[in-house]
Amino acid sequence: MAPIPEAPGISETATDNNFSNDEARDKSRVTIVGSGNWGSVAAKLIASNTLKLTAFHDEVRMWVYEETLPSGEKLTDVINKTNENVKYLPGIKLGKNVVADPDIENAVKEANMLVFVTPHQFMEGICKRLVGKIKADVEAISLIKGMEVKPEGPCMISSLISQQLGVNCCVLMGANIANEIAVEKFSEATIGYRENRVTAEKWVQLFYTPYFSVTAVQDVEGVELCGTLKNVVALGAGFVDGLEMGNNTKAAIMRLGLIEMKAFCKLLFSSVKDSTFFESCGVADLITTCLGGRNRKVAEAFAKNGGNRSFDELEAEMLQGQKLQGVSTAREVYEVLSHRGWLQLFPLLATVHEISIGRLPPSAIVNYNEPKAVRGSNKL
């Protein structure tokens, strides 16, 4: 699939004030559900484009899971006063057209386009709260890296959104460490869409900037599973760093991880395309997360402490409210592997989970005496 031409209409510069009532009614309203580190950067990207593009209302609403700051002020009030998310993205102006809203129902009720970007463990509850509260023809996109495991099998977050809310849901994943994009360092991203290319093009328009290059591919499952699984491999990379095993070992983990990611994707969804692994959502996200992500960082500390301090404890201490996705994803992937009798086929993904729950020591990430991981992964 050829990339969609870069951000059609990106140079248009009209604002809401230039339009008649009819034209204003045709414009899409965007709401972001989530306001963490990546959620806030997504707000900045989108808000810079809604000001420029005639297809969108200027205002971008951002639902904030309300909390009280040490100063005693509400986070939402501070964001609206300073135009900064002082807790999750300090020092970065979001754009004056971003409005923080602690009331989720109010935040979504006028939206035509919903951008979901919360840690994946909160999405089931959020979807339940949104049933019957959104417009009938809403388009959604998920930036969330993770999945749920139900008795009937794994459920990707985009499917959860589609099923619970009855909406079409694209995904956007990629080598996107939020703090780097926040300071406008160049990154690429991949949008996965199911059938509607026109909608995918609208999402490309909404996100694209000269420093954020977005390509759309027709492979929702492949894009979303790559973004989800690389967080598990990144824990493995972090264990290697914590044990000071060096770059060659880390490269081996990334290579074996990519093989298992691809095999897992294809076993779950035969439609997943080989080419997706070469998009930003595939190999590039794997590399950046294994080099500079939060999952890597906390896993490094876990291994340095010999597995004696839990991930929950380290997450709370090191991330100040930001959330890891890899540990719960490793558990969810492990559940799928055990349930389907695939544990032997995915030694790296399985071992990461067993280390993270303390069943194996961090050094098991490369078990030289019993090189099962290497043999098993190469068979896939």
Ligand X SMILES: O=C(CO)COP(=O)(O)O
Ligand Y SMILES: NC(=O)C1=CN([C@@H]2O[C@H](COP(=O)(O)OP(=O)(O)OC[C@H]3O[C@@H](n4cnc5c(N)ncnc54)[C@H](O)[C@@H]3O)[C@@H](O)[C@H]2O)C=CC1
- Residue closer to ligand Y by CB (options 39, 154) is 39
Question: Of 176, 209, 356, 377, which one interacts with ligand Y (CB under 6 A)?
Answer: 176
Contact call for residue 260 and ligand X (CB under 6 A): no
Contact call for residue 31 and ligand X (CB under 6 A): no
192: enclosing H helix or E strand: strand 187-192
Angstrom distance (rounded) from CA 90 to CA 40 = 10
Catalytic residues: 230
Query: From ligand X, ligand Y, none, which one binds at residue 95 (CB under 5 to 8 Å depending on kind)?
Result: none
Angstrom distance (rounded) from CA 337 to CA 226 = 17
Structure tokens at 87: 């807790």
Quick check: 80 and 130 in contact, CB under 8 A? no
- 185-203: burial string, b at 16+ Cβ within 10 Å, e else: eebbbbbbbbeeeebbbbb
Contacting range for ligand Y; rule: CB under 6 A; set: 176-184, 207-215, 262-270, 332-340: 176-184
Single-letter amino acid code for the residue at 239: F
Nearest residue to 28 via CA among 2, 45, 42, 46 = 46
Residue of closest CB approach to ligand X: 293
- Residue closer to ligand Y by CB (options 26, 67) is 67
Contacting range for ligand X; rule: CB under 6 A; set: 131-139, 158-166, 175-183, 214-222: 175-183
Contact call for residue 282 and ligand Y (CB under 6 A): no
Contact call for residue 97 and ligand X (CB under 6 A): no
Contact call for residue 118 and ligand Y (CB under 6 A): yes
Q: Which spans in the chain are helix H?
A: 21-26, 37-50, 75-82, 104-108, 123-130, 157-165, 178-182, 197-207, 220-242, 247-268, 285-292, 294-304, 311-319, 326-340, 347-356, 372-379
Say which residue the tokens 């090189």 belong to.
371
Contacting range for ligand Y; rule: CB under 6 A; set: 117-125, 197-205, 303-311, 354-362: 117-125
Instruction: Count the residues of the shown chain that bind ligand X, applying the rule CB under 6 A.
Output: 13
Query: From ligand X, ligand Y, none, which one binds at residue 234 (CB under 5 to 8 Å depending on kind)?
Result: ligand X
Nearest residue to 98 via CA among 144, 138, 58 = 58
**Residues within window 326-355 making contact with ligand X, judged by CB under 6 A:** none
- How far the first Cα of the chain sits from its last, in Å, is 26
Instruction: Establish whether 304 is an annotated binding residue.
Output: no
Contacting range for ligand X; rule: CB under 6 A; set: 17-25, 44-52, 147-155, 293-301: 293-301
Question: Of 85, 176, 329, 377, which one interacts with ligand X (CB under 6 A)?
Answer: 176
Query: From ligand Y, ligand X, none, which one binds at residue 39 (CB under 5 to 8 Å depending on kind)?
Result: ligand Y
Q: Which residues bind ligand X (CB under 6 A)?
A: 145, 175-177, 231, 234, 285, 288-289, 293-295, 325
**Annotated binding site: which residue ranges?**
34-39, 122, 145, 178, 294-295, 323, 325
